[in-house]
């Protein structure tokens, strides 16, 4: 991507000031900004910066905003999540409701809901914690009390909250409150967040049905809690299945293998 000196300087400055940028990323960015002088060209310094970031990018070890910058500069598809955030902050029409589910890594929680009729938006984010505007690094440090979750904006004329609960139970291991599949820690706990008495009643009934079906040897430990502030995650995490389809497919296959194995094992134990 061809950038002027002013445009590149502005983007690098924004990343330097971003609280989610790690110290070693910031060091590289500061060095690049200092080299941007009237005697240099933007293209040359951008190429050098991308070369410095490449080893970290290849290991998927850049923070979200820097990862977006790297992918944009190398010509990869980068989702603009401004519309999603706008939908999150906008008031709901009379026919729209919201559901908030935590079920492990939010990367694998979007596509199963978003591709269904009646879904207006699925937003990845953080909820249930004590820190305002948390970053991804803060949440995965397990120090803020947040969990990764999805906020689903749905059209009640086409899909019901009960329908969404049915999908949710198919996506998780309801016996594991220490994480989900390969994602460990309190930020990956499975929780149903309810925002009304009606949602709580439906959530409790759906949980009881899972218990009564006796599909699992271990107790059902999914919590049902009141909705708290939902903070949309960084752009990099929104609609991950579209932005990083190959990586998403690998993660989703591994997740589904585990859940199928678990259900078959439970069925065998019952017999």
- The residue-averaged pLDDT of 240-267 equals 85
| Residues 219 and 99 occupy one common structural domain | yes
Q: What is the pLDDT of residues 8-61, one digit of tens each?
A: 999 999 999 998 899 999 999 999 999 988 878 888 889 999 999 999 888 878
- The residue-averaged pLDDT of 161-167 equals 98
| Residues 114 and 23 occupy one common structural domain | no
- Give the C-alpha separation, 70 to 73, whole Å: 5
Number of residues that make up the chain = 271
Can you give the CATH number for the domain in which 249 is found?
A: 3.30.1060.10
Chosen domain end from 73, 94, 117 = 73
| Residues 107 and 57 occupy one common structural domain | no
Domain that holds residue 58: 5-73
Beta strands in 84-190 (DSSP E): 96-102, 119-127, 147-155, 179-180, 183-184
Active-site position among 8, 49, 53, 105: 105
- Give the C-alpha separation, 58 to 76, whole Å: 13
Q: What is the pLDDT of residues 131-148, one digit of tens each?
A: 999 999 999 999 999 999
| Residues 147 and 66 occupy one common structural domain | no
Chosen domain end from 22, 49, 73 = 73
Q: What is the pLDDT of residues 232-250, one digit of tens each?
A: 999 889 999 988 888 899 9
Pick from 129, 100, 117: which is nearest to 203 by CA? 100
- Give the C-alpha separation, 86 to 180, whole Å: 30
| Residues 25 and 87 occupy one common structural domain | no
| Number of domains making up the chain | 2
| Residues 65 and 147 occupy one common structural domain | no
| Residues 26 and 140 occupy one common structural domain | no
| Residues 57 and 155 occupy one common structural domain | no
Inform me whether the pLDDT recorded for 268 exceeds 80: no
Chosen domain end from 47, 73, 99 = 73
Question: What residues are paired with 142 via a beta bridge?
Answer: none
| Residues 61 and 89 occupy one common structural domain | no
- Give the C-alpha separation, 118 to 79, whole Å: 22
| Residues 53 and 93 occupy one common structural domain | no
Q: Is 105 a catalytic residue?
A: yes
Task: Give pLDDT, residue 61.
Answer: 82
| CB 216 within 8 Å of CB 175 | yes
| Residues 143 and 244 occupy one common structural domain | yes
- Angle, vertex CA 151, rays to CA 108 and CA 205, nearest 5: 90
| Residues 223 and 112 occupy one common structural domain | yes
């Amino acid at each position: 991507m061809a950038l002027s000196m002013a445009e590149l300087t502005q983007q690098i400055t924004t990343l330097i000031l971003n609280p989610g940028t790690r110290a070693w990323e910031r060091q590289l960015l500061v060095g690049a900004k200092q080299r941007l002088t009237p005697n240099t060209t933007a293209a040359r310094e951008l190429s050098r910066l991308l070369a410095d970031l490449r080893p970290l990018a290849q290991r998927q070890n850049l923070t979200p905003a820097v990862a977006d910058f790297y992918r944009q500069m190398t010509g990869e598809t980068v989702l603009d999540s401004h519309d999603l955030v706008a939908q999150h902050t906008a008031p709901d029409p009379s026919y729209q409701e919201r559901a908030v589910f935590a079920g492990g890594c939010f990367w694998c929680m979007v596509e199963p809901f978003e591709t269904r009729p009646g879904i207006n938006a699925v937003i990845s984010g953080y909820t249930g914690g004590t820190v305002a505007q948390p970053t991804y690094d803060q949440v995965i440090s397990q120090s803020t009390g947040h969990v990764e979750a999805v906020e689903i904006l749905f059209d009640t004329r086409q899909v019901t909250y009960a329908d969404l609960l049915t999908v949710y139970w198919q996506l998780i291991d309801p016996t594991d409150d220490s994480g989900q599949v390969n994602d460990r820690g309190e930020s990956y706990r499975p929780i149903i967040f309810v925002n009304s008495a009606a949602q709580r009643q439906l959530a409790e009934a759906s949980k009881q049905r899972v218990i009564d079906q006796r599909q699992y040897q271990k107790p059902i430990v999914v919590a049902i809690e009141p909705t708290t502030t939902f903070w949309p995650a960084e752009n990099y995490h929104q609609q991950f299945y579209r932005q990083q389809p190959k990586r998403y497919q690998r993660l989703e296959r591994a997740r589904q293998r585990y859940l199928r194995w678990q259900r078959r094992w439970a069925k065998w134990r019952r017999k």
